[in-house]
Amino acid sequence: MSDIYDLIVIGAGSGGVRASRMAAATGAKVAVVEDMFLGGTCVNVGCVPKKLFVYASQVRGHIEEAAGFGIDARQNSFSWNTLKENKDKEINRLNGIYETLLEAPGVEIVRGKGVIVAPDTVQVGERKLATRRILIATGGWPFKPDIPGADLAMDSNDVFAMKDYPGRVVVVGGGYIAIEFAGIFNGLGSDTQLLYRGDRILRGFDDEIRDYVTQEVIKTGVNIRTNTDVERIEHSGSEYLCHLNDGSTLACDAVLMATGRKAKTEGLGLENVGVETRQDGSIVVDGSFATNIDGIYALGDVIGTPALTPVALEQGMVFVDQQFGEGKRSIDYDLIPTAVFCQPNIGTVGITEEEACECYPGDIDVYTSEFRPLKHTMTGSDERTLMKLIVRRSDDRVVGAHMVGEDAGEIIQGIAVAMQAGATKHHFDATIGIHPTGAEEFVTMRSVVREH
């Protein structure tokens, strides 16, 4: 067998694993290089453990709501160590599955830091691996602002390994990671403050959705403070003091900096071969994931496309088809559904109302439905749900669908399929709803609430 690999993948996250094993399944000689854990951010310190923690944080609310259904229930205690240990068991199980997924088609797993020393060579420790193609799939890494005391704060990776559970938490940031962790801490019993330097959380989402979810999250007990930033953190006895931009201080037991992520490209040796990167460190690629250097490719979070696991998975499939298959596959970034597992959830697919006004001025109808879910007529909770459709009037095409409410992600996934198929508002109107569900509201909205 040739000592030259057909493909070396640096990074065994979602995109890297998918590309590695699918390439190996075609008969290619493939190695994947990883210096941390198999499965990447999503499996180990991202969407999977975070969703498990979301489930845990919802239990207290379910217990409190039980009285409305005649059930006498109460939470006797909460063990952070038990939750963490059970989470670790599940992640270890998934690591084993990923190892099997790679080994089954013959992918060689090389443990260590991969450094590109030439366009056709990757060095791992003392080994130099020759290859016809290099695929960089190293993902992203949490970023902390450069302020005094930033090292005293956790990032999103650190939360999953906390030794002690904090009674008071300050979460800094306004993106989906910040709002999700604020809900987790609040649900598990922490006094939770969310500080964001901007005037609205969740930049990039539909403005109406942003405002609505803010009021709903505040109802759950999270204190959201906008136009507020941390300028300095100091350790004072057994607590931390956050010095804010208004001159005040905020004491807490833990600070989480959920202030964004950056492409993990440092130390890869990109400068050795001249791979072009952006100012934020992300790698510049074309539509075939090729960099400016022949034989070197990149995909996933490291190239600045939407930082979502399913996007990296699809990119991996497209890359393998283009390099080892028929070359017929491509990826469309226009209708990517996504969910934010704050409490209540957000689900969204397509463009926002603001984007629609810019893309199709004078041609937009907006439909909304806002209501109290049936369940909460018994629980006494004042949580409410918002659903929204954005329609291009000239051809009746649904160009955006958004929801704030329980199981929003589960509901929006099906709507995303319909929108990929070109669904019109007439198709929604002609669809018979499932009663009684919240989802049926998407097919019963008849009145235009705004025209643009």
CATH number at residue 423: 3.30.390.30
My answer on whether 45 and 107 are in the same domain is yes
- How confident is the model over 286-295, as a mean pLDDT? 97
Active site residue 435: yes
- Using the 3D structure, point to which of 215, 231, 259 is the last residue of a domain: 259
My answer on whether 273 and 254 are in the same domain is no
Catalytic residue among 235, 427, 435, 452: 435
- How confident is the model over 332-361, as a mean pLDDT? 97
User: Is residue 64 domain-resident?
Assistant: yes
How many residues are given for the chain? 452
Q: Please say whether the beta carbons of 204 and 78 come within 8 A.
A: no
My answer on whether 136 and 267 are in the same domain is yes
- Using the 3D structure, point to which of 324, 352, 368 is the last residue of a domain: 324
Q: Which of 114, 137, 115, 124 is nearest to 263 (CA)?
A: 137
My answer on whether 366 and 377 are in the same domain is yes
Q: Is pLDDT at 77 greater than 50 in this prediction? A: yes
Contacts of 66 (CB under 8 A, 6+ apart): 72, 73
- How confident is the model over 65-74, as a mean pLDDT? 96
Give the chain's mean pLDDT: 97
pLDDT in tens, 226-257: 999 999 999 999 999 999 999 999 999 999 99
My answer on whether 313 and 182 are in the same domain is no
For residue 345, name the pLDDT band (cuts at 50, 70, 90): very high
My answer on whether 284 and 343 are in the same domain is no
User: Is residue 332 domain-resident?
Assistant: no
At 2 the pLDDT is: 57
My answer on whether 54 and 194 are in the same domain is no
Domain that holds residue 216: 150-259
What distance in Å separates the CA atoms of residue 234 and residue 260, rounded to the nearest whole number?
22
My answer on whether 89 and 174 are in the same domain is no
At 51 the pLDDT is: 98
- How confident is the model over 277-290, as a mean pLDDT? 96
User: Is residue 2 domain-resident?
Assistant: no
- The tally of domains found in the chain comes to 3
User: Is residue 411 domain-resident?
Assistant: yes
At 358 the pLDDT is: 97
- How confident is the model over 5-32, as a mean pLDDT? 98
Which two structure tokens, joined as six digits, stand for 63?
A: 């217990």
- How confident is the model over 172-176, as a mean pLDDT? 97
Q: Is pLDDT at 94 greater than 90 in this prediction? A: yes
Task: Give the three-class secondary structure for 51.
Answer: helix
- Using the 3D structure, point to which of 204, 227, 259 is the last residue of a domain: 259
My answer on whether 239 and 277 are in the same domain is no
The distance from CA 160 to its chain's CA centroid, rounded to whole angstroms, is: 16
User: Is residue 333 domain-resident?
Assistant: no
Q: What percent of the chain has pLDDT over 70?
A: 100
My answer on whether 284 and 361 are in the same domain is no
User: Is residue 92 domain-resident?
Assistant: yes
3-class SS letters over 204-269? CCCHHHHHHHHHHHHHHCCEEECCCCEEEEEEECCEEEEEECCCCEEEECEEEECCCEEECCCCCC
The distance from CA 105 to its chain's CA centroid, rounded to whole angstroms, is: 29
Among all chains, which residue has been given the structure tokens 């939360």? 159
Q: Is pLDDT at 298 greater than 50 in this prediction? A: yes
At 1 the pLDDT is: 39
**First-to-final CA distance of the chain:** 64
Reading phi first (left if > 0) and then psi (alpha if -120 to 50, else beta), residue 70 is in left
What distance in Å separates the CA atoms of residue 9 and residue 254, rounded to the nearest whole number?
37
CATH number at residue 174: 3.50.50.60
User: Is residue 428 domain-resident?
Assistant: yes
What distance in Å separates the CA atoms of residue 48 and residue 94, rounded to the nearest whole number?
10
My answer on whether 15 and 129 are in the same domain is yes
- How confident is the model over 376-402, as a mean pLDDT? 97
Q: Is pLDDT at 3 greater than 90 in this prediction? A: no
Distances (CA, A) of 431 to 109, 243, 418, 427, 436: 49, 54, 11, 6, 15
Q: Give the H/E segment covering residue 350.
A: strand 346-350
pLDDT in tens, 130-168: 999 999 999 999 999 999 999 999 999 999 999 999 999
What distance in Å separates the CA atoms of residue 17 and residue 23, rounded to the nearest whole number?
10
Task: Give the three-class secondary structure for 294.
Answer: coil
pLDDT in tens, 299-331: 999 999 999 999 999 999 999 999 999 999 999
Beta-strand relationship, 385-392 and 338-340: unpaired
User: Is residue 329 domain-resident?
Assistant: no
My answer on whether 238 and 127 are in the same domain is no
Q: Is pLDDT at 92 greater than 50 in this prediction? A: yes
Q: Is pLDDT at 357 greater than 80 in this prediction? A: yes
